[in-house]
């Protein structure tokens, strides 16, 4: 079976379950130290919020989020609100005003390619900077990583993943596949029970994000109220508008030192309209895939014209209309004569 577990950022401590919360260094260490002190005298003591914010570097992550992610206005607003809540919570802890660790488990719902994984990574970073998780890494899994095929396999599998995720974020993609209503004996139920227990008992050291399409997710929560009651923040990721997809395309290219010519931009706009009508459209991911193919075609175009060409940096950077219009999204099998024709076998991009 294909390895679907992805781990991002801050790897390290080999046995995270055995780690002391105050032993990891970073912001949470400072926090634990402070938490052990008696509450500061109220109400004359004050804490410089602006300094707290700067020290944690959260504003940086939020600005990056604004700059590097197109659209997603409601998502960005929610993240800012959560960051503010966490900052206030952190200060309240310093002043001895809170004792319980807050529940930070979340659900991210939205169609494919709407930025859920990308935002989860940023969220892990924010949680780490504010000292709510020790390491700030993210482990991304699906049902197959948690649920075994045979009796007795599920518990060790789930526990192993949880162990790896401790101190960070466990991102469970298409979480509803964990639950199979039609099969009473499904091993998914065992994974669910372990997850629920850890989400309740170890919430000071692990944040779980359940992700998936809105419809099945709602059904999943209805069948598993235990999950719903443990989720503090539900964030909905809307589909992107055509203009946003175009801007995402330009951003993806700019990061790779490419740009669209004027006619290339027009072609990408047409591509977006046409691609949305076809099966398996997945928002920003479809745009990324389309541009990967456009780069292949551009390279092929450049190499084919090599005999009469002194190539410039501008040529190498420019994605032109034909690089996009050759896509089979436009109906004609324009790639039939191209050595790249087989790359479109399994996709519409």
Binding-site ranges for ligand ATP (CB under 6 A):
69-72, 110, 112-118, 173, 248, 251, 282, 284-285, 288
For Mg ion, the closer of residues 32 and 117 by Cβ is 117
For ligand ATP, the closer of residues 173 and 320 by Cβ is 173
Closest approach, Cβ 4 to Mg ion, in A, equals 11
- Only one of the segments 97-105, 110-118, 143-151, 214-222 lies at the binding site for Mg ion (rule: CB under 5 A); that segment is 110-118
Burial letters 23-61, b for 16+ CB under 10 A, else e:
ebeebbbebbeebeeeeeeeeeeeeeeeebbeebebeeb
User: Are the C-beta atoms of 169 and 139 separated by less than 8 Å?
Assistant: yes
Closest approach, Cβ 109 to Mg ion, in A, equals 12
Closest approach, Cβ 268 to ligand ATP, in A, equals 14
For ligand ATP, the closer of residues 270 and 285 by Cβ is 285
Q: Give the whole-angstrom CA distance, residue 63 versus residue 22.
A: 29
Q: Strand pairing partners for 319?
A: 260
For ligand ATP, the closer of residues 87 and 324 by Cβ is 324
Closest approach, Cβ 69 to ligand ATP, in A, equals 4
**Site of tokens 């959560």:** 82
Binding of Mg ion by 117 (CB under 5 A)? yes
Cβ within 8 Å of residue 172, ≥6 positions away = 141, 142, 146, 178, 195, 208, 209, 210, 211
Q: Which does 300 bind (CB under 5 to 8 A by kind): Mg ion, ligand ATP, none?
A: none
Closest approach, Cβ 173 to Mg ion, in A, equals 6
Q: Give the whole-angstrom CA distance, residue 269 versus residue 2.
A: 35
Which positions touch Mg ion (CB under 5 A)? 117
């Amino acid at each position: 079976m294909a390895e679907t577990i992805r781990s991002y950022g801050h790897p390290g401590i080999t046995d995270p379950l055995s780690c002391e919360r105050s032993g990891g260094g970073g912001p949470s260490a400072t926090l634990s130290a402070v938490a052990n002190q008696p509450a500061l005298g109220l109400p004359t003591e004050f804490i410089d919020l602006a300094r707290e914010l700067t020290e944690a570097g959260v504003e940086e992550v939020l600005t990056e989020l604004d700059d590097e992610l197109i659209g997603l206005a409601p998502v960005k607003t929610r993240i800012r609100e959560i960051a503010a809540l966490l900052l206030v919570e952190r200060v309240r802890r310093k002043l001895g005003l809170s004792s319980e660790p807050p529940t930070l488990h979340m659900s991210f719902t939205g169609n494919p390619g709407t930025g859920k994984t990308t935002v989860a990574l940023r969220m892990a970073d924010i949680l780490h900077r504010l000292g709510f998780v020790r390491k700030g890494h993210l482990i991304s899994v699906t049902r197959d990583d948690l649920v075994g095929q045979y009796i007795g396999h599920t518990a060790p599998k789930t526990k192993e993943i949880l162990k790896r995720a401790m101190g960070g974020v466990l991102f469970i993609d298409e979480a509803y596949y964990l639950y199979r209503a039609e099969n009473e004996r499904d091993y998914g139920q065992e994974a669910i029970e372990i997850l629920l227990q850890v989400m309740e008992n170890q919430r000071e050291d692990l944040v779980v994000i359940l992700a998936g399409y809105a419809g099945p997710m709602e059904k999943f929560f209805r069948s598993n109220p235990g999950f719903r009651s443990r989720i503090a923040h539900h964030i909905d990721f809307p589909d992107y508008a055509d203009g946003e997809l175009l801007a995402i395309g330009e951003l993806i290219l700019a990061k790779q030192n490419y740009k669209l010519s004027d006619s290339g931009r027009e072609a990408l706009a047409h591509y977006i309209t046409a691609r949305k009508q076809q099966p398996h459209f997945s928002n920003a991911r479809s745009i990324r895939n389309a541009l990967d193919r456009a780069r292949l075609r551009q390279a092929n175009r450049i190499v084919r014209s090599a005999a009469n060409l002194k190539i410039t940096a501008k040529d190498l950077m420019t994605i032109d209309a034909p690089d996009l219009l050759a896509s089979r999204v436009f109906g004609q099998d324009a790639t039939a004569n191209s050595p790249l024709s087989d790359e479109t076998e399994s996709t519409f991009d």
